[in-house]
Structures are given as C-alpha cells and as structure tokens.
C-alpha cells in the first residue's frame, strides 16, 4: 500500500497517535472545566448551609480529579509514543565491506532499490524488497533486471523467491 505525501507506516502511526493524544487532551480539558464549575457550585451550597463543614462537601470527597490526572498522564504517554514514532529511525550500521557503486547514473527508483538492499547489509529477498519499497512485483522485477544489467546486483534463486545481493 502506497501512502500519500511520502509517509511511511511508522510516521503515519506516529501522526495518528499524536492526533489521538491531542484530541484526548482537548476532551479532558473540557471535562475538567465542567467539573470545576460544578465543584464551585457545590462548595457555595455547602458554605451557605447552617453547618458549613467542607469535609462533607461532595466536591472534596470525589475521585474525579485523580481520574482526570490519570487521563492526562495517559494522553502524555500516547503523545510521547507518537513523537518517538515520528523521530527518524537510527541509521543502521553498514559494514564497510559493501561495494561502493556509482549511483549517479541510476534513476530514482533504481536508487531506492539499491539503497534498500544496501541498508539490509547487502542482501535481501525480492519479496521483502517489494514490501519495503511499495513497488509492484513487476516493477521490482524490471528494476532488478536493469540493475543486474549494470552489474550492481545479482539474483540467486531461493525457493519461491530470489535473494538479491549487491555485487
């Protein structure tokens, strides 16, 4: 599945979590404001009574404030998870033994294929390459044909798929 605006699944999940967290904070803020208004009203009624004992005020014996704090804490955790998913993934360590190739003569799609293989330590199953790049099966096959003709990759048959290795 190809995502719009060049988003990856990781980034789109991060954005979704951030949106959920912000929505949750907004709803909790509205609930908090409403609860505060009700608590002020209850305190005014209790203080106007002949026996103004605030320990009997329902606003002071309710667990609502603790539940709201837990809700805000959970939304902060969801927000943090979203931000972590938005952060760029750490660059993988690429072994120095991988060949250096002149990529200036490759088009963008060929570069994407080559870089995906390079990031997987120089070898990758063709089926994983299809999933990783989002290209169709036919497109990946044709791109690999061109990369093979240029002497940059080699395909080795492994069961029902090919192992693609950098040369």
For 57-97, write each residue's pLDDT tens digit: 887 778 888 899 999 999 999 999 999 988 876 655 555 56
- Within-domain flag for 93: no
Q: 86, 119, 135 — which closes off a domain?
A: 86
Q: 58 is written with which tokens? A: 């329902």
Note the helical H segments in the chain.
Answer: 9-48, 58-61, 64-86, 108-119, 126-133, 137-149
pLDDT tier at 6 (50, 70, 90 boundaries)? low
Half-sphere exposure of 141 (CA within 13 A, CB side): 5
CA–CA separation, 94 vs 118, rounded Å?
Answer: 8
Question: What's the structural domain count of the chain?
Answer: 2
- Within-domain flag for 74: yes
Q: 22 is written with which tokens? A: 């912000």
CA–CA separation, 137 vs 125, rounded Å?
Answer: 12
Same domain, 67 and 120: no
Domain that holds residue 23: 4-86
Does the reported pTM lie above 0.75? no
- Within-domain flag for 13: yes
């Amino acid at each position: 599945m190809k995502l719009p605006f060049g988003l990856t699944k990781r980034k789109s999940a991060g954005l979704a979590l951030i949106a959920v967290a912000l929505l949750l904070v907004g709803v909790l803020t509205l609930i908090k404001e409403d609860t505060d208004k009700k608590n002020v009203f209850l305190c005014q009624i209790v203080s106007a009574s002949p026996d103004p004992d605030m320990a009997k005020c329902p606003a002071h014996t309710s667990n609502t404030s603790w539940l709201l704090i837990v809700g805000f804490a959970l939304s902060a955790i969801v927000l943090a998870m979203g931000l972590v998913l938005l952060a760029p993934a750490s660059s993988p360590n690429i072994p120095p033994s991988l060949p250096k190739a002149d990529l200036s003569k490759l088009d963008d799609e060929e570069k994407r294929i080559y870089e995906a293989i390079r990031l997987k330590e120089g070898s990758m199953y063709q089926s994983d390459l299809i999933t990783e790049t989002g290209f169709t099966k036919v497109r990946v096959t044709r791109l690999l044909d061109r990369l093979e003709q240029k002497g940059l990759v080699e395909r080795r048959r492994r069961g029902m798929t090919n192992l693609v290795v950098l040369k």
